[in-house]
A and B are shown apart, each in its own frame.
Chain A
Amino acid sequence: MIRFSQVGKRYPPGLDALSGISFEVNAGELVLIEGHSGAGKSTVLKLIAAMEHPTAGTVLVNNQNVGAMKRAAVPYLRRNLGLVLQDQKLLFDRTSFENVLLPLSIAGFPAREAASRARAALDKVGLLKREKALPVSLSGGEQQRLAIARAVVNRPKLLLADEPTAHLDPHTARDVARIFHDFHQVGVTVLIATYDDALFNLDGARRLVFDHGRLAP
């Protein structure tokens, strides 16, 4: 499903965030991306979502060369991904429900189906009661769960999450981790960048450990 071949990423003015990265993720896997702060975890996820382009090597997602993708093709790649970013990128002038609805409007779902799917996603993360709330009135953990609901509402085959349990208390963090496990259980490929490997290291998770932009053996 995902294949990195000798991937390098150099950010201007010349810092190598990643170099010589090669790995493969098969459909249905749960992969934990670990490493110290600045190791290059977020960069890996951004390359997969075409938010950044590799400066060396190739990144294939579903056999598509994401790095060389035409601008016009990128939206269709992203509609098939669930993205939970480190800064969650919620829209603060919209309700929880409207935030979760957005990917469905973008993908052109009929209004009624979109609404019922959005509610189902909110229910899945335990936020259905807060559907009319604005994100500012949600707690950190609730915002995190809202971001997850928005990422999965399209029922993507591939779910990317960047530090989804950062700043959460241990109890809430476990709830969030469980959500990802549930998606893994139903066959979704899940990549999670995290320090908190104990939290996710349950069943059959594979670990990719990064160190200063290189993959540790």
Chain B
Amino acid sequence: MSVWLSQHRDALAAALRRLIAAPLNTLLSLLAIGIALALPASGQMLMSNLLQLASTTTPSPQISIFMKLDANHDAVSRTEKQLKQHSGVSAVKVVTSEQTLARMKMSEGLGDVIDALPKNPFPDAFVVTPHDDRPDAMESLAKELRGLPGVEHVQLDSAWAKRLEALLRLGRTGVNLLAAFLGVGLVAITFNTIRLQVLTHQAEVEVSRLLGATDRFIARPFYYFGLLQGLFGGLVAWLIVFVAAATLRGPVGELANLYGIDFNLVSLGTTDTFLLLAVAGLLGWFGAALSVRQHMRDT
């Protein structure tokens, strides 16, 4: 084995020994890091669940077109033909005024009211499914449809899509912000523990120097200490999120059922887990590097 490799292995082993040597301190640091990281991590978990929910349970968005009340049968079928030929439209459903009237009569309490009306108050209507269901595309299609002859009103039901999109964007920004703040927190925690580590191991640092150790040799175990502490803290965060997801799965599923949605809350996926651990480890290393640079110069 090369010298380089064995020195790194030794430094890693030394870092592990130092972590184990003060179990209570280590436990407290890991909890602090774990809880700090669990916040953005659970935010991420909720976001991906929401995205999953949004993509599986929302019906494809539609555009409703209401004809003028005085539009005659010819005008209505002309419009129907135009809609069916339109390239931006994937499906057209006709809802005649008679159908609407019949449906309304069935509604509880409305039957008598409608019977009392002198004539059918409902217009003929179409429900159009667009090819492109992005809010912008729907908006421009609706604008075009408003210009068709005999059309009284076009109603776009993409508002919910916009709201959901805005909500998800807000959520994502929140998660990113939280991650940034708590990432800084992790670096700060590591900076401080490494400072204490340098103090604790001052004798060792001094003796190693006298025996010809380079700065790098002396710093290495501290770097690994930061890396391991971050990594294990990340694992604690992962565990917290896992337990939270498992605990919430039942109640959330029941709640979703009440809305007629079949929903299974899942914990962090493989990519998110990997990302969490990698970022935690790297930030730990970074905090250690900053601290070593700051605190070992004067020993």
Contact = CB atoms under 8 A, between A and B. Distances in A.
Interface of A: 49, 51, 72, 75-80, 83, 85, 89-92, 102-103, 105-108, 110-111, 150
A75 B207 CA distance: 12
B210 A49 contact: yes
Interface of B: 1, 3, 6-7, 10, 203-204, 206-215, 217
19 contacts: A51-B210, A75-B209, A75-B212, A75-B213, A75-B214, A78-B209, A78-B210, A78-B212, A79-B211, A80-B212, A83-B211, A85-B210, A89-B206, A89-B210, A90-B207, A102-B208, A106-B211, A106-B212, A108-B6
A78 B213 CA distance: 8
Contacts of A105: 7, 10
Nearest to A85: B210
Interface secondary structure of B, over-half rule: helix
A72 B210 contact: no
A78 B211 contact: yes
A79 B209 CA distance: 10
Could you say which of A77, A106, A111 has the most chain B C-beta atoms within 10 Å of its C-beta?
A106
Contacts of B10: 105
A78 B124 CA distance: 96
- Which of A75, A90, A102 is most buried by chain B, counting CB atoms within 10 A of its CB? A75
Contacts of A90: 207
A48 to B, nearest CB: 13
B210 A106 contact: no
Given A91-B203, A108-B7, A83 B210 contact: yes
Nearest to B217: A106
Given A72-B214, A75-B212, A103-B212, A108 B203 contact: no
Given A89-B206, A91-B203, A91-B204, A107 B6 contact: no
Nearest to B10: A105
A138 B214 CA distance: 30
